[in-house]
A and B are shown apart, each in its own frame.
Chain A
Amino acid sequence: MIISIASGKGGTGKTTVAAGLAASVDPPVTVLDCDVEEPNLHLFLHPAVTHSEKVIAPVPEIDPDRCTLCRKCMEICRFNAIAVAGKTVVTFAELCHSCGGCSIICPEKAITKKERVLGLVETGTCSVPGLAFGQGLLDIGQVMVPPVVRRVKTHGAGPGGLTLIDAPPGTSCPVIAAMKDTDFVVLVTEPTPFGLNDLKLAVETVRLLGIPHGLIINRAGMGDDAVYDYAREKNLRVLMEIPFDRKIATAYSKGDLIISARPHYKEKFKQLYNDICRLADDNTGAK
């Protein structure tokens, strides 16, 4: 079972939910921080990193002795990462999406793959028994997020266990890469005009992907009722409400888990997981 936790809006409580759920359900569980531009789940879980690996994407390198300036590589590249300039071929690694088309189409076999480091994936263990941890870190200056997210996702718990994916905010490629091929998407919002605005975008995205999903309303009690009206109108199931509670806010402000401030949330998170399993199974999350 793979559950991704997404939101649209940033700062709604994705990481709070991911950490709380990860620390509450029965092992084996792996929780993966796929917000690789700014991973922060480690602040809740304090993992000990035991393994790290570089995420490498190939970029083309041209052998000028073999190249006949035929331009086939330039024509196939939809990102304009290769250009024939006079008698030389110029490449732009930062525009390359590592599709490999240029090296396949080159009739002279003049293109070899050079390694470019996009980022790092770290895995390890947490103080919570049976909880494995992983996170991605995009290198400074790199913009190719999805390959790093996909690599983080290869470190899931496997078929027998539960994998939780803490997705980045937004609705663009990094989020799609995080949610794709997961069994269920938990959308976390807050009951404010800002939460609702971005929730709508996130719901449209998840429904396009056809993944069963449900809603968690965090800081319930603040703001207004418009999120509830929207959920009703769109048949969006509210899985859980986390109240706008001073004790929870205080715990968060110190980097503590919800379940340390409000221990009964452990049972609530277990119940949440059971509900998600049922919904993912009969595929009624979207209905």
Chain B
Amino acid sequence: MKLAVSSTGPDLSSDVDPRFGRASYILVVDTDTLAVEVIDNAANKDAFKGAGIQAAAAVCDKGADILLTGFCGPNAFKTLDAAGVKVANDVSGTVQSAVERFKAGEFTFSSTPNTEGHW
């Protein structure tokens, strides 16, 4: 299974970035092998609009099944939902610990966005 995690840095020891669309990186982690694929989200970080949509599309492209992040807005959620990617919000700590807690079944999936859209 592939987990996408919004991250402040490019490796597993980095902290989870609470922002999704404008996270510095998004790490796509294989839950069996812990192999990491790094999405550099720099372009979206400074996007004029639609950062969440673009980040969500990138996550879908990588074939992730689950997203772990802090906050996920309505447009990102709609995009992820269309591709069947499940979202767990309010995640913090390091990316590695988030992956471990996920494997231990600590997170529940959200059925709605947990923050407002931005204008």
Q: Which residues of A contact B (CB under 8 A)?
A: 74, 78-81, 83-88, 90, 92, 95, 143
Interface size class of B (residues with CB under 8 A): 20 to 34
Interface string of B29-53 (1 = CB under 8 A from A): 0000000000000000001111101
Is A85 a contact partner of B56 (Cβ separation < 8 A)?
A: yes
Task: Please name all residues of chain B whose beta carbon is closer than 8 Å to the beta carbon of A87 when the two chains form the complex.
Answer: 83
Interface residue B114 (Cβ < 8 Å from any Cβ of A): no
Cα–Cα distance between A87 and B79 once the two chains are bound (Å): 11
Which listed residue (B53, B60, B82, B85) contacts A80, Cβ 8 A? B53
Decide: B49 and A74 in contact? CB cutoff 8 A: no
B82 touches A86 (CB 8 A): yes
Q: Are A95 and B60 in contact (CB under 8 A)?
A: no
Q: With an 8 A cutoff between CB atoms, is B84 at the interface?
A: yes
Q: Does B80 contact A (CB under 8 A)?
A: yes
Residues from 5 to 40 in B contacting A, C-beta threshold 8 Å: none
Supply 15 further A-B pairs (C-beta < 8 A) apart from A84-B57, A95-B49, A95-B50.
Answer: A78-B48, A80-B47, A80-B49, A80-B53, A83-B54, A85-B60, A85-B79, A85-B80, A88-B82, A88-B83, A90-B53, A90-B78, A92-B78, A95-B75, A143-B119
Q: How far is the CA of A157 from the CA of B56 in the complex (A)?
A: 49
Contacting pair B82 A90 (CB below 8 A): yes
| Contact present for A92 and B57 (CB under 8 Å) | no
- CB closest chain-A residue, reference B52: A80
For window 66-116 of B, CB contacts with A under 8 Å fall at: 75, 78-80, 82-85
A and B contact pairs by CB, cutoff 8 A, 24 listed: A79-B49, A79-B50, A80-B47, A80-B54, A83-B50, A83-B53, A83-B57, A84-B57, A84-B61, A85-B57, A85-B79, A85-B80, A86-B60, A86-B83, A87-B83, A90-B53, A90-B78, A90-B82, A92-B50, A92-B75, A95-B49, A95-B50, A95-B53, A143-B119
- Please indicate the chain B residues that have their CB under 8 angstroms from the CB of A81 in the complex: 50
CB neighbours of B80 from chain A (8 A) = 85
